[in-house]
């Protein structure tokens, strides 16, 4: 008689079996392509409680179990001031999925929500800083965030439409404020629709938006309200109806940027014009 599997075992098997092509393979592809996990790493897998970070934790468990690369991992949950329902939901999901989380508390929501201007920007910066600091205190050299392929392409489009610049989301970054620390995005090549499919297949529900400004949509499939990201998400969804490969095209485009065809380039040392080396490239 076959042994009945527990929910976390079913979730793990679905990653390796049913959704191997959609989840496991692109996860491994990102880890290898961008050199995200290296020997001796101690990685803080940052869990917000949403579908993306919870799946990322399960992917890391599988990687840690089977990888030939020696590394350590901590599943880190920062409580920025969740209400009791959200905190309980994160803890119960972690138990259900057999994820051994380490929780630490902050007052980020109190500080950000009392800010006169740009509370969301302040909240995001504070979250990142607290995660870096706690991870470093725990001996980690990297933090892993659950941004996926759709986050990458939406960020690119948003920057062009609303910030007047062509700017992407990098798969890994050196921290500017915490020496020796890096941020990695191991779900960089995974589509959001496939994450949702995995969640639904396993009949899981996660918190979506835990901010006190929008607590009326804490547990749902979609969020964003009237945000610019949601506008871009809807636009891309419409464009996908006539061009099914549009997500792939945008993603590939940020890996093949032809800088010599742009009149202006922004680098770490400032803005540069094509005129700087225009004559030097005569006859090319």
| C-alpha–C-alpha distance, residues 28 and 234, integer Å | 29
The answer for residues whose C-beta is within 8 angstroms of residue 18's C-beta and 6 or more apart is: 201
Q: What is the pLDDT of residue 123?
A: 80
SS3 89: helix
- Which of the given ranges, 1-5, 208-212, 224-228, 231-235, has the highest pLDDT on average? 231-235
Looking at the DSSP bridge assignments, the partners of residue 274 are none
The answer for residues whose C-beta is within 8 angstroms of residue 245's C-beta and 6 or more apart is: none
Quickly name the fold that domain 8-221 has: Rossmann fold (3.40.50)
pTM: 0.90
pLDDT at 122 > cutoff 90:
no
Q: How many CA atoms lie within 13 A of 82 on its CB side?
A: 23
Q: What confidence tens digit (pLDDT) does each residue in 240-283 have? A: 999 999 999 999 999 999 988 999 999 889 999 999 999 988 86
The answer for residues whose C-beta is within 8 angstroms of residue 200's C-beta and 6 or more apart is: none
Q: What is the pLDDT of residue 215?
A: 46
* Structure tokens that stand for 228 in this block: 């610019």
| C-alpha–C-alpha distance, residues 149 and 170, integer Å | 11
What is the average pLDDT across 163-175? 94
| C-alpha–C-alpha distance, residues 108 and 99, integer Å | 24
* Residue % of the chain over a pLDDT of 90: 75
**Can you list the alpha helix ranges (DSSP code H) found in 17-116?**
25-33, 51-66, 84-96, 108-113
Q: Which of 196, 185, 200 is nearest to 233 (CA)?
A: 196
């Amino acid at each position: 008689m076959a042994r009945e599997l527990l929910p976390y075992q079913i979730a793990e098997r679905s990653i390796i079996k049913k959704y191997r092509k959609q989840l496991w393979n692109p996860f491994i592809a990102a880890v290898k392509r961008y050199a995200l996990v290296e020997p001796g790493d101690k990685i803080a897998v940052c869990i917000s409680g949403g579908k993306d970070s919870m799946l990322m934790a399960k992917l890391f468990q599988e990687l840690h179990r089977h990888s030939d690369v020696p590394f350590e991992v901590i599943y880190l949950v920062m409580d920025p001031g969740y209400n009791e329902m959200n905190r309980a939901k994160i803890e119960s999901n972690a138990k259900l999925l057999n994820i051994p989380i380490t929780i630490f508390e902050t007052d980020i929501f109190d500080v950000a929500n009392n800010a006169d201007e740009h509370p969301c920007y302040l909240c995001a910066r504070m979250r990142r800083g607290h995660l870096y600091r706690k991870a470093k205190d725990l001996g980690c050299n990297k933090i892993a965030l659950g941004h996926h392929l759709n986050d990458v392409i939406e960020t690119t489009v948003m920057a062009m439409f609303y910030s007047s610049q062509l700017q992407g989301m990098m798969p890994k970054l050196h921290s500017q404020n915490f020496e020796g620390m890096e941020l990695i995005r191991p779900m960089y090549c995974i589509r959001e629709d496939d994450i949702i499919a995995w969640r639904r297949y396993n009949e899981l529900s996660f918190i979506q938006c835990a901010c006190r400004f929008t607590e009326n949509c804490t547990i749902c499939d979609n969020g964003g309200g009237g945000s610019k990201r949601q506008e871009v998400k809807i636009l891309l969804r419409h464009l996908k109806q006539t061009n099914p490969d549009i997500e792939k095209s945008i993603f590939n485009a940020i890996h093949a940027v032809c800088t010599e065809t742009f009149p202006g380039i922004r680098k770490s040392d400032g803005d540069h014009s094509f005129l700087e080396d225009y004559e030097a490239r005569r006859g090319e």
